[in-house]
Amino acid sequence: MGMNYYLLFLVHFLVSLSLSLLVGGSGSGNSEYHYKLREKIKAEQEADRVVGLPGQPPVSFNHYAGYVTVNQTHGRALFYWFFEAINQSQHKPLLLWLNGGPGCSSIGFGAAEELGPFFPQKGSKPKLKLNPYTWNNAANLLFLESPVGVGFSYTNTSSDIDKLGDTITAKDSYNFLVNWFKRFPQFQSHKLYIAGESYAGHYVPQLSEVIFDQNKRVAERNYINLKGFMVGNGLMDDETDQKGMIEYAWNHAVISDRLYDGIKKKCNFSDPDSQDDDNNKCSILLNKYFDVYKIIDMYSLYSPKCVVNNTTTTNQFPVFQRFRTNHLFSESRGWHKRPAGYDPCASDYSEAYFNRPDVQAALHANITKIPYPWTHCSDKIQFWKDAPTSVLPIIKKLIAGGLRIWVYSGDTDGRIPVTSTRYTLTKLGLQITQDWTPWYNSKQVGGWTVEYKGLDFVTIRGAGHEVPQFAPRQSLMLIEHFLTNTKLPAKPF
């Protein structure tokens, strides 16, 4: 670990040298090279700077958006939106946020509806509401649309879409970071944390593992100062996720005793083959289970659905008609859709906003004129080549590697409920160092915490699948305490 810190210091020194040493110029050939490099970097950053974003309120921080090529041969490029921290950005860590799906946009959900600074509002005239609980209060905030085919991210090789999976997503996201740091070298030495929700329960640990492994073998200039990651309502282990979904639904009066008992008897979640046959009894029972979520919001049990003119909007589709991971994506239509939080029509506003030509121009997006509209979740991604049934081995490895790891759960989510996450963490077999303890949001209980040896678990009371949307103040407290590695308040304040 000492050698890594030495290498990191060296990288920071070299980057600083390349950007600032030669402002005055010494006349040497080496000075001329570094001067040109610095000017090139400044020009690239300036080209990505976002100015004149329609409907944007005035802010004191800079933000940037654009593309980073991750595979030159295939023409794969990922779209990002980056917000500098509101105060003292040079001293704040860098936080990468990933949404899941797979196939859903971190711009549409994370940035525009959960934890970014700007939320699109209803109306024909573009208007962005400033989010007082934006996470760039705590960190420099980077959103990434990944993999290719999601949002504005694209590939010039159409066959790439049919080859997507966890492995290529992690590899491309790693290449994105390496190349993004070349464009923004002033953040190379900053502490990096990765966070995400839902299927990012796969993305976040897998990308963290790639960085962790690559840091042992890459050149100093590509060393990434990864310190930890956080996963919310994350898909991490198929068996416990599925078992917990059914128990949560029964415990929250969503399904009947008869259906619950039938699923327990006929479905073996530790054996995915038991759900293969459409005609077998397990599949029939699971279809009845999912029928419930055609009429209520699976992602926030007690929130209303979006209704326009007495009709639910097209965003509101039933989800996940199969449990088995490697069958989910190819067989089910509408699996990626989900209702939004406090305003269940928020996704309608952001979808209209990001399809405006003036918005795309301001964000330097859609430069290749993608032949389909921007959507929250890609209809193009119908196949997923690889998805392990559990990421717990990766989490164990990274705990042993010394990374800071927090897992959090909004407790009104029915998709990856708190019940599932508790079963999953128990399966890790970690020693509990401090058991079920309340934490406070001012005078009210914000949720509960469990401290394990090597991992912290936090619940957020009354929050659905997308915690920052349902509990913005509490979620900002969560990320602030995670980044500073401090305990959430154990008493009212």
Q: Rounded to an integer, what distance in angstroms lies between the CA atom of residue 237 and that of residue 456?
A: 17
Catalytic position from the list 48, 172, 413, 456: 413
Catalytic position from the list 63, 202, 465, 481: 465
465 is catalytic: yes
Catalytic position from the list 89, 105, 153, 198: 198
Q: Would you name the residues annotated as active-site residues?
A: 198, 413, 465
